[in-house]
Structure 1
Amino acid sequence: MSELVNSILNRSSEPRLAEPAPDASVLEEAFACAARAPDHALLRPWRYLIIEGDGLEALGDVFAAAADPDDPLAPKVQKLRQMPHRAPMMIVGITRHQKHPKVPEIEESLSTGCGMAFLLLALEARGYSGMWRTGPVAYHSAVREGLGLAANETITGFLYVGTPIVNKPSVAPAETKSFVSRWPND
């Protein structure tokens, strides 16, 4: 089995992350991998924000602005403020939607999502780990505005990145027959 396939088959999200975060050279390589995502019409519809250090505190303030005191199920301000501190680095994946006659917006979002997956795999190949999250804050106008997104941009996800504190036990893979079939049926 190839090293790449083995890495994919054994990867899992790691929620407990600590220092160190990847350095500039590891990030450069990982973002080069992200840029190899499928990209209909070569629109390069992605961009990324790296947030660490004091930026995590500022991001907590941005998240706190998304609190809804009238919704009893919504996360509370303090929880929102602490969310960025789950890891020493966050990478925000952003899709830049562009008008193109042959490329629907969903393909741009999927391209950015593939880039984020490639980014995560590249970081894991260098000994780091991550957890991809979205949640209500990813779609809240206060967060979009706080991060400086343009009107044609959406958040694809927040990638929490760092060094795993402990590696979770591997998760049993889903049996492919539970989600793969041939069409038309034999």
Structure 2
Amino acid sequence: MDVRTAILTRRSAKRFLPDPIRRDSIERMLEAAVRAPNHWLTEPWHFYVVMGTGRERVAELRARQMRESGQTDPDRISRHTVEIRTIPALIFVSARRGKSEQETHENRLATAAAIMNMLLVAHEEGLGAIWRTGQFIHYEPLREFLGVPADAEIIGQIYVGLPAEVRDTPRTPWQEKTSWITE
């Protein structure tokens, strides 16, 4: 699959089959991630791949975080935790903070580019993936469980597995989002 086709056909998968996925597919995603552009070659990213029984601990932390943030609907909490327990792989991605606000900003952007590379390779591998953010990635007990150092922040979590369904997402044509400055 060429790059343009991968970009134009990739979609975020929101539902996954519980089937295991190959470790070498994740390794190829990570190999592509570290090739993302990064100013000053800071290589600010770190990847925390959670599979197997590690997902149970993440699910417990998610339930706790939801309850602590005021979520009282047990069905909603259950939906989130069942999802985490059944997704074959969760990849948390952190970015190291820089020596200045500018470097921190650039490190976040570089890490976002690394995540996009991962999503494209997942698509090439026939896997579904979705990049999630939200309050959970800032939850201190999650950071402690993963071993995220104090000088880093989690940029997102990527759910990876065989897609149960993938829906097309309408996008505004690029022409409506582009200005050409010629003079």
TM-score range, shorter chain: 0.7 to 0.9
Aligned partner of 2:90 in structure 1 is 90
TM-score under structure 1 length normalisation: 0.84
Aligned partner of 1:65 in structure 2 is 64
Aligned partner of 1:31 in structure 2 is 30
Aligned partner of 1:99 in structure 2 is 99
Shift of 1:48: 0.4
Tell me if the contact between 1:132 and 1:159 (Cα under 8 Å) persists in the aligned partners. Answer: yes
**CA RMSD, aligned part only?**
2.6
Aligned partner of 1:129 in structure 2 is 128
For residues 131 and 109 of structure 1, the distance between their equivalents in structure 2, rounded to whole angstroms, comes to 18
Tell me if the contact between 2:132 and 2:157 (Cα under 8 Å) persists in the aligned partners. Answer: yes
Aligned partner of 1:141 in structure 2 is 140
Shift of 1:139: 1.6
Aligned partner of 1:113 in structure 2 is 112
Tell me if the contact between 1:50 and 1:91 (Cα under 8 Å) persists in the aligned partners. Answer: yes
Aligned amino acid, residue 61 of structure 1: E
Q: Which consecutive unaligned segments of at least 5 residues does structure 2 have?
A: none
Aligned partner of 1:180 in structure 2 is 178
Shift of 1:62: 1.9
Tell me if the contact between 1:62 and 1:142 (Cα under 8 Å) persists in the aligned partners. Answer: yes
Taking a change above 3 Å as real, the CA distance of residues 117 and 67 of structure 1, as seen in their structure-2 partners, is: same
Aligned amino acid, residue 179 of structure 2: S
Q: Which moved more, 1:20-29 or 1:71-80?
A: 71-80
Taking a change above 3 Å as real, the CA distance of residues 171 and 79 of structure 1, as seen in their structure-2 partners, is: closer
Identity of aligned residues (%): 25
Instruction: String of CA shifts for 1:53-107, please: whole Å, max 9, x gaps.
Output: 1111011122233234563589965455334135211111111223269x52011
For residues 152 and 73 of structure 2, the distance between their equivalents in structure 1, rounded to whole angstroms, comes to 24
TM-score under structure 2 length normalisation: 0.86
Match of 2:14, SS state, is coil
For residues 19 and 72 of structure 1, the distance between their equivalents in structure 2, rounded to whole angstroms, comes to 26
Shift of 1:162: 0.4
Match of 1:16, SS state, is strand
Aligned amino acid, residue 92 of structure 2: V
Shift of 1:15: 0.7
Taking a change above 3 Å as real, the CA distance of residues 177 and 79 of structure 1, as seen in their structure-2 partners, is: same
Aligned amino acid, residue 99 of structure 2: K
Tell me if the contact between 1:67 and 1:80 (Cα under 8 Å) persists in the aligned partners. Answer: no
Structure number having the greater helix percentage: 2
Taking a change above 3 Å as real, the CA distance of residues 105 and 69 of structure 1, as seen in their structure-2 partners, is: closer
For residues 61 and 70 of structure 2, the distance between their equivalents in structure 1, rounded to whole angstroms, comes to 18
